[in-house]
């Protein structure tokens, strides 16, 4: 079987985001959870090999054009692959990449009032997402927005470009934070890769 999608490497070690995200959670999340999304996406696409040339972004942006027999699998597992691929990139232990600066920050300040107000609103979205899902900062029709999605749904399915996504499935935080999603959300800001988020913003603006 041809395997179009493979697990991306992390740019940092599993223990390097401690104490915010513990090493065991990072390892299981990356090598088990993310790998399963990829395996099941590949399995689904093997039934329609003509789709294997498409990027996961293309597959999700046109989700209603995906053959019905694999549409739910592509939505869940393609979404899982795309969302996690982004998540690993917008986290970092690197002090330089964590600096809160760039055009993106100006735009956040303009849109939400201040970076702290932005974080508050983002966390409200994350805590308000019942069950499993994601909180997002997205670029939509020239503007920044905070939103959340259920399960592994991607904002791309609604034509919104994800810039920053935080996984609020329990598997993302349960070993360290147990049911304390609030603690996880309050602390995750100290490992956000603003350099990467800024790059994604610059790319989205040019489109
Ligand atoms: Mn996850």
Q: Distance from the CA of 87 to the center of ligand 1, in angstroms? A: 9
Whether the predicted pLDDT of 165 surpasses 80? yes
Per-residue pLDDT, averaged over 31-56, amounts to: 95
pTM of the model: 0.96
For residues 20 and 188, the answer to whether their CB atoms sit within 8 Å is yes
Q: Are residues 153 and 65 in the same domain?
A: no
> Where residue 52 sits, what CATH number does that domain have?
1.10.287.990
Cα-to-centroid distance, 116 and ligand 1 (Å): 25
CATH of the domain at 194: 3.55.40.20
Do 113 and 80 lie in a common domain?
A: no
- Give the Å distance between the CA of 170 and the centre of ligand 1: 8
Of 89, 111, 143, the residue at which a domain comes to its end is 89
Report how far ligand 1's centroid is from the alpha carbon of 64 (Å).
24
CA 110 to ligand 1 center in whole angstroms: 31
Residues 80 and 48 in one domain: yes
Burial environment of residue 95 by CB neighbours within 10 A (0 to 12, 13 to 18, 19 or more) = exposed
Q: What is the pLDDT of residue 129?
A: 95
Percentage of the chain lying above the pLDDT 90 cut: 96
145 and 181 fall within a common domain: yes
Regarding whether 67 and 156 lie in a shared domain, the answer is no
Note whether residue 76 is domain-resident: yes
Say whether both 84 and 120 belong to one domain. no
Q: CA distances (Å), 130 to each of 81, 99, 133, 148, in order? A: 21, 31, 8, 10
Structural domain for 55, as ranges: 22-89
| 185 and 112 co-located in one domain | yes
**Is the pLDDT confidence value at 2 over 70?**
no
* Number of domain units in the chain: 2
Domain-located, residue 94: no
Q: How far is the C-alpha of 162 from the C-alpha of 83, rounded, in Å?
A: 9
Distance from residue 84's CA to the centre of ligand 1 (Å): 6
Is residue 98 within 8 A of residue 194, CB to CB? The reply is yes
For position 52, what pLDDT does the model report? 87
pLDDT, one tens digit per residue, over 96-109 is: 999 999 999 999 99
Please provide residue 172's backbone torsions phi and psi, each rounded to the nearest 5 degrees: -80, -20
* Mean pLDDT in residue range 131-146: 97
Average pLDDT over all residues of the chain:
96
Q: Give the Å distance between the CA of 32 and the centre of ligand 1.
A: 10
Q: State in Å: Cα 34 to ligand 1 middle.
A: 7
Q: What pLDDT does 94 receive?
A: 98
d(CA 143, CA 126) in angstroms, rounded, equals 20
């Amino acid at each position: 079987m041809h395997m179009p999608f493979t697990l991306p490497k992390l740019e940092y070690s599993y223990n390097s985001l401690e104490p915010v995200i513990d090493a065991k959670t990072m390892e299981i999340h990356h090598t088990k959870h993310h790998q399963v999304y990829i395996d099941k996406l590949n399995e689904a696409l093997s039934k329609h090999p003509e789709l294997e040339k498409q990027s996961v972004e293309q597959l999700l942006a046109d989700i209603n054009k995906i053959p019905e027999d694999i549409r739910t699998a592509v939505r869940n597992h393609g979404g899982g692959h795309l969302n996690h691929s982004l998540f690993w990139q917008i986290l970092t232990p690197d002090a330089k990449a964590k600096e809160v600066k760039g055009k993106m920050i100006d735009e956040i300040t303009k849109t939400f009032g201040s970076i702290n107000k932005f974080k508050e609103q983002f966390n409200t979205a994350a805590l308000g997402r019942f069950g499993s899902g994601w909180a997002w900062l997205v670029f939509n029709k020239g503007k920044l927005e905070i939103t959340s999605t259920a399960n592994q749904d991607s904002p791309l399915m609604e034509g919104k470009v994800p810039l920053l996504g935080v996984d609020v499935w329990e598997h993302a935080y349960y070993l360290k934070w147990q049911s304390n999603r609030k603690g996880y959300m309050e602390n995750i800001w100290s490992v956000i890769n603003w350099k990467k988020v800024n790059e994604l913003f610059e790319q989205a603006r040019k489109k």
